[in-house]
Amino acid sequence: MNSTEDYSIDSAPLKGHKTARRLDPRDIQLPPGYKIEVFKAGLTTPINLVIAHDDQMYVADAGVTSGSGKVIRLTPQGEEVVAEGFNPPLTGINIYKGDIFVSHRGFITVIKPNGKLIDVLAGLPSWGDHHNNRVVFGSDGKMYFGQGTATNSGVVGEDNAGWVENHPQFHDYPGASVILEGRNFTSENFLTSAPGDLATTGAYSPFGVSTSRGECIKGITAASGSVLRANRDGSGLELIAWGLRNPFRMKFDRHGRLFSTNHGMDVRGSRGVANSPDEFQLIKEGVWYGWPDFTGGQPVTNRIFKPHNGPQPQFLLARHPMRPPLPVAVFAPHSAIMGFDFNYTHRFENFGDVYIAEFGSEAPGTTGGEPLPGVGHRVSRINMKNGKVSTFAINKSGFAASYTGGGGFERPIDVVFGRDESMYVVDFGISGDGEEGYLEGTGVIWRIRAV
């Protein structure tokens, strides 16, 4: 496709709406020496791209629009559905020794070469705000994956009503036994119809269950906000690290080091935290990364984390397992860093650095009502020598395409380098109004090449 063309896509209607996405690579700003083009258009909620050893491309559809997560193979003739019916959100796929590993809500399922589906892990604690995420494979042949937290900052509240009604006993679980400060939070009891009925909830507890100072909460292996490891058949599940709010995407570098994104906390719920950065972390075994009492390596009791119209966050834990490490790199709050890849091609500058997709803010729902349209919606580069973050590709407007009516990036969610030494950027698509999710056919894969 020619990078100077203006593409218009009319997709299938969604709940009575006809949707269209204008695509114009000229609206995206790149450094000199690079060009961008539309590689594949008309997808729905593509969440990650995998390029197999034979250069065959597979795309994961999160399923949040259709209600059915899918694994799709891209062929010269079009799209071929390999398997579908996975619990949304399908958060990622990977291929290892001919098997396709699918991470979807509560499960890791393997698609065998003959098409048979096998659930190798089930019952993962993914019924809250965040879920189990894409698996990667270490030199030990085992699979590693992130498990997100149930809540924003450790306390079930009104912002969790959507899932509490179906899972009233669900809450966060620590990765080691912890002693609580006994802080409790009062909110409207949305589980009853009685006017004025209130609920008091403590940390690491179901909605409406209070805690006491000095109370001990026992740790579990499949902890909230953790990095887990298991054999390929799901046996031998182990806890590697915890204290991460949402380790959405992770990858090993050439030296066998494991790196992960981690999303900062929001200004919402019973315990809002302002200015909480996104983190790019080096994952080490046995380490606690600070959630729910630290963010960006700093305590939430720092004044910078006080919401404009809310109380200063206080510690939930009476004793912390350790002082959490500083991240390799930090991103602006609500950047929503997602998929990334290491640059091991000499066609792109800065060999060994990380190129990473920034999905963008969910303001005002996650920011305490304050708009933050100027973060995310781009591809950034992390200098792996000093941790500095710089913008690589961004709309010339600086905003999401739908915000200005432009034809560039909307919601970048994955970055993958191909053996053709091109960078592929997966763009999730345009969100609908209200409860309608994301609009069909507005997902895109972009290709960036050095010229």
Q: Please spell the DSSP secondary structure of 183-228, one letter per residue.
A: -EEEEE-TTS--TT-EEEEETTS-TT----TT-EE---SS-TTEEE
Check residue 363 and give its pLDDT: 85
pTM: 0.94
pLDDT at 2 over 80: no
Calpha distance 180→301 (Å, rounded): 16
Calpha distance 106→163 (Å, rounded): 14
Give the tens place of pLDDT for each residue, 217-232: 999 999 999 999 999 9
* pLDDT (mean) for 349-367: 93
* pLDDT (mean) for 341-365: 94
% of the chain beyond a pLDDT of 90: 90
* pLDDT (mean) for 36-62: 97
Give the tens place of pLDDT for each residue, 263-287: 999 999 999 999 999 999 999 999 9
pLDDT at 63 over 90: yes
% of the chain beyond a pLDDT of 70: 95
Provide the CA 419 distance to its chain's centre, in angstroms: 25
* pLDDT (mean) for 429-444: 84
Calpha distance 451→36 (Å, rounded): 10
CB 157 within 8 A of CB 172: no
Calpha distance 262→337 (Å, rounded): 8
CB 264 within 8 A of CB 333: yes
Provide the CA 42 distance to its chain's centre, in angstroms: 22
Give the tens place of pLDDT for each residue, 152-186: 999 999 999 999 999 999 999 999 999 999 999 99
CATH numbers and ranges of domains, the chain: 7-56+118-150+222-450 (2.120.10)
Calpha distance 60→73 (Å, rounded): 9
Q: What is the DSSP string of 391-415?
A: EEEEETTSS-HHHHT-SS-S-EEEE
Q: Which two tokens stand for residue 359?
A: 């999905």
